[in-house]
Amino acid sequence: MQRLLLSRTHAELIELTRHGFVAMVDEVSEAPAPDIPSPSDPTPSDEVTPEEPAQRCVGFSAVEVYSPKLAELQCLAVHPDYQRFGVGKRLVQMCVDRARDLGIMEIMAISSSDRFLENCGFHYSLPDQKRALFQQLRPRPYEDRS
């Protein structure tokens, strides 16, 4: 809704999940109060089975591997209610760790949140001053709508 993420095809989403990470939290459920048996009810069972807490996805991030030299942090998204609690930073670190485990030399990130990425250890250029330059070849899906 905020148009901060690129839309993805089903195939792209499947590929991103190969090296993707999901942040989940236990959902606080408003469970109804247990029924209190009346004296006329049959003997209630003493067996109580705890229910598994429902979980809610609050964030996602993935690393896309281009070559042994380069990977990209992609699709970093954290639900607004869970921002500024370390969820995004943890997702970024998991992607960086995955790239490192795969032996990737460099990981890049393209984002509108420069300060956040700098706090996660990203910089505008590498120590030997490499810079990424871009040229847009077609409008993004939401840019061609009038």
How confident is residue 90, by pLDDT bands cut at 50, 70 and 90?
very high
Among 19-33, 76-90, 93-107, the minimum mean pLDDT is found in 19-33
Q: What does the angle CA 143 – CA 144 – CA 146 come to, to the nearest 5 degrees?
A: 95
User: Residue 95: which residues within 8 A CB-CB, separation 6 or more?
Assistant: 19, 21, 61, 62, 63, 73, 107
pLDDT average, residue stretch 100-123 = 90
Q: Which tokens go with 110?
A: 């393209």
- For residue 14, CA distances in Å to 1, 20, 22, 66, 79 come to 22, 10, 14, 16, 21
Residue 129 CA to residue 38 CA, distance in Å, equals 77
pLDDT digits (tens, 9 = 90+) for 48-74: 566 777 888 999 999 999 999 999 999
Residue 120 in contact with residue 93, Cβ under 8 Å? Answer: yes
